[in-house]
Structure 1
Amino acid sequence: MRKGHMIYGGLGLAHTAILDAPNIDCREFLRVLLLRADSRSANLGVRVLAEGTAALVRQAWGPSTTVHLQNFDGGDTGQSFNKAAIAKDVFRKNGPIKSTLRKYDVVIDVCGGDSFTDSYGLKRLGLILYTQSASQKLRIPTMLSPQTIGPFTNRVARALASRSLKRMTMVLSRDKASEQYSASLGRPVDLSATDVVFALPAPTTPKTRDIVLNVSGLLWNENSHVDSTVYRASVHSLIAALQERGHPITFMPHVLDNPRSDNDVPIAVELAHQYETTTDLAVPTSLQDARSIVSSARLVIGSRMHACLNAISTGTPAIPWAYSRKFAPLLEDIGWDEVVDLRTDPDPVKITLDILDKHSIADLTARNVTVVERAQARLTEVLAALQMSGAERTR
């Protein structure tokens, strides 16, 4: 084993054992590569995953730890990990990807939070599995950061994912459903944690806004998740209902302006102009700005999961309009069940208003405090597990 690497073993420990483990100093010279992590993405949820995971790593292994981010088409390494790079790497001992991976002591795959699945296509999964396999074959400690695991509908993809999971030094899920799915693939997770957004510092922002509404450009246009026509009608009905109740609305995009259809800004601008007499528009300039905006609200209603998680983690209650299975299990695990499922709930607007009739915003805010405490307790377990995993360093 080369100098600087740590010796790891599978954890497979009860949470109490992890919490009781001693802190082991493995900080000096440590270089960590976060795969599928991007702090400059137009999607602020992707930035959350990158910055939250980096924050966890530095909290576990010290602020001097070098953390580099790597996405498919570029990153801090200066090397792409895309299809073209794999073609140059696959039959070479010192190909561009392998040579880059050798520079690091630990590799942690963030997988964009929910990309360890074949739901986004086999090509994307193939890029993920190749890099994981290359890192594992080089005997670099390779981990899966807290994320959604699965589903896999393709039999070959399922088998390859199972093999990769079994070779991981550590596997962390962010909800119980993913924990169960990983176990079904033959690799029980080391911890069921939560989203890394709760590792980010919360801004202290005065409450100057009433309701911040995040409308998804992904769902507004034709998509594979929900009927876009129904989604548009539901959004307009919600705005009308909130205005009738006297709630000022601030529209906030969570995927910033970019050439793809997955872009929240045009819809937010359009809606703000359409309802300009009783609404406002707040377009974030950064992740920190977005967190300040949601922190300034009394309530957030959003279709982007991390728009809602950014709110909850900063102390603002949120009502997610969920479009996939990644929402509810994660939120239920930390005690938040005020979720509207756009795939199955027949009337999202009525359910949203029922929540507001049943609970005052003040009550939701008080409950939110407990949710944040539970989430941070789960991440404390992750920190202990990461510290424990560095059992001994060779010098």
Structure 2
Amino acid sequence: MLIEIRGVGFVNKGAELMLHAILEKIKSRFPKARFVMAPSLNVSPYEKRAELSLYQKVTYEKLGLDLGDFFVSLVPKKRRKMYGLVRQKEVDIVLDAAGFAHGDQWGVKNTKKLFKFSQKLKRNNAKLILLPQAFGPFEKREIKETMKELLRNCDLVFAREEVSFNYLTSFTSQKNIFNMPDFTNLVKAKEVEDFDFEKNDFCIIPNYKMVSKSWINSSDNNYIKLISESIKYLREKGKNPFILVHEGKKDFVLAEEIANKVGGINIFKEEDPLKVKGIIKQSHGVIGSRFHSLVSSLSQATPALGTSWSHKYQMLFKDYDFEEGILTLDSSVDDIRRKVDILIDENSKEKLVLKLENKSKYLKELSNQMWEKVFKEIETKA
């Protein structure tokens, strides 16, 4: 069985964590399955794919034609296998793990592209499963109609929270759409021994989207002010905040801007996503703006506050019964300090940790149920 994984990569640690989660779970049920990814010079370079024994899907689209697939078709199948090369028609299952790619914010391009791809899969009798991700809104007619057509070609669809689920089911009555949480909550973190958690005990994870999204009705500087004020107060309370970069260059540049604003702060970048999750686990608390950094925090009962540029953040905190944990860009200094106190005051922190532990158990069980549905769908193809 050959399984293609889409929507993941190695720059964003959340996307890489999803890749590890998929490989871990599928191999546990289908140990002989082979996995393939399409190449990308920046997002999924060959060296990274090779480390995980991923086959290479040969594709190069030009003028509506897949020239890469055509040329590799001229190579005998035995030779292709020897070099780890795969044609699209050889793929049995496609697992799409794009965290958030379909909705009015993104325009219709992503949805059209996946719809055309889904048509090709149907012709090849391959299955398409959309793993838990955010969707919507779909106010624009073209994207709504395209999404409706795409859903008809999907064998399973998982929205990872109630709002996304409602967006999808508002214009389709399909019975193969389910509301299930983000599945990286099942991935175990690596213990991190070469990190000084005494000098760096409170984790700050920035996101350049907080200052780049045009639909955020605030000046760009408000986000930096929010994070800077949080760092300042943490220091006043005896904590040692540090910045952990969860994505690439843009997040690092933002981290440096924040560092300049607060008179210096340690900035760390860890390549191993399982160690990133380990650093989050061993921190006293987190203020995060990357979605999967917050999943890693809350699912491990590490107290966290989050900022938001999309409904997916509010719904994540709702899943953990901690809706108060969202920091808005117009938060007052008093509001910021009050919410930080929830994470560092011993009594409130203890109650919060207990709540997060209980919610995490429930959400992990839902993730296991999601995988059982995926396994059953794969078994119909095996």
Q: Which category of TM-score, normalised to the shorter sequence, fits these structures? A: 0.7 to 0.9
Aligned CA distance change for structure 1 residues 210 and 133 (closer, same or farther; 3 Å): same
Match of 1:142 in 2: 128
Q: Is the Cα–Cα contact under 8 Å of residues 288 and 305 in structure 2 kept in the other structure? A: yes
AA paired with 2:135? Answer: I
Alignment of 1:1-395 (within 5 A): 30-38=1-9, 40=10, 42-59=11-28, 61-70=29-38, 76-80=55-59, 84-85=61-62, 87-89=64-66, 100-110=87-97, 112-186=98-172, 187-205=174-192, 208=198, 209-220=200-211, 223-227=214-218, 228-257=220-249, 263-272=250-259, 275=262, 279-342=265-328, 346-347=330-331, 349-358=333-342, 360-390=348-378, 392=380
Give distance in 2, aligned partners of 1:65 and 1:57: 8
Partner amino acid for 2:245? P
Instruction: Give the gaps of 5 or more residues in structure 1.
Output: 1-29, 258-262
Question: Shift in Å at residue 235 of structure 1?
Answer: 2.0
**Alpha-carbon distance, 1:167 to partner:** 2.2
Instruction: Determine if contact 1:171/1:190 at 8 Å carries over to the other structure.
Output: yes
Partner of 2:51: none
> What displacement does 1:106 show?
0.8
Bigger shift: residues 237-246 or 168-177: 237-246
Number of residues of Structure 1 aligned to a counterpart in Structure 2: 349
* Aligned residue type for 1:32: I
2: distance between equivalents of 1:78 and 1:329?
A: 35
- Following the alignment from structure 1 to structure 2, what is the Cα–Cα distance between the partners of residues 137 and 248? 57
More helix by share: 2
Secondary structure, counterpart of 1:148 in structure 2: strand
| Bigger RCO of structures 1 and 2 (CA < 8 A, at least 6 apart) | 1
TM-score by length of 1: 0.78
**How far did 1:334 drift?**
4.1
1:106–1:142 Cα contact (<8 Å) kept: yes
Shift of 1:248: 1.5
The 1:353–1:85 alpha-carbon spacing in structure 2 relative to 1, beyond 3 Å, is farther
Instruction: Tell me the distance in 2 between the aligned counterparts of 1:150 and 1:230.
Output: 26
Aligned identity (percent) is 16
The whole-number CA distance in structure 2 between the counterparts of 1:179 and 1:216 is 25
Aligned-partner Cα distance in 2 for 1:341–1:311: 16
- Secondary structure in 1 matching 2:131: strand
The gaps in structure 2 that reach 5 residues or longer are 45-54, 74-85
Question: Could you say if the C-alpha distance between residues 86 and 150 of structure 1 is closer, same or farther in structure 2, counting changes exceeding 3 Å?
Answer: farther
| Amino acid of the structure 2 residue aligned with 1:158 | K
Matched AA of 1:48: L
Cα distance 1:127–1:142, how it changes in 2: closer, same or farther (>3 A)?
A: same
**Quick check: 351-360 or 166-175, which moved more?**
351-360
Tell me the TM-score normalised to structure 2 length. Answer: 0.80
Query: Once the 2 structures are TM-superposed, how far is the Cα of residue 236 of structure 1 from its aligned partner?
Result: 2.1
User: Could you say if the C-alpha distance between residues 322 and 205 of structure 1 is closer, same or farther in structure 2, counting changes exceeding 3 Å?
Assistant: same
Are the equivalent residues in 1 in contact too, given 2:286–2:297 (CA < 8 A)? yes
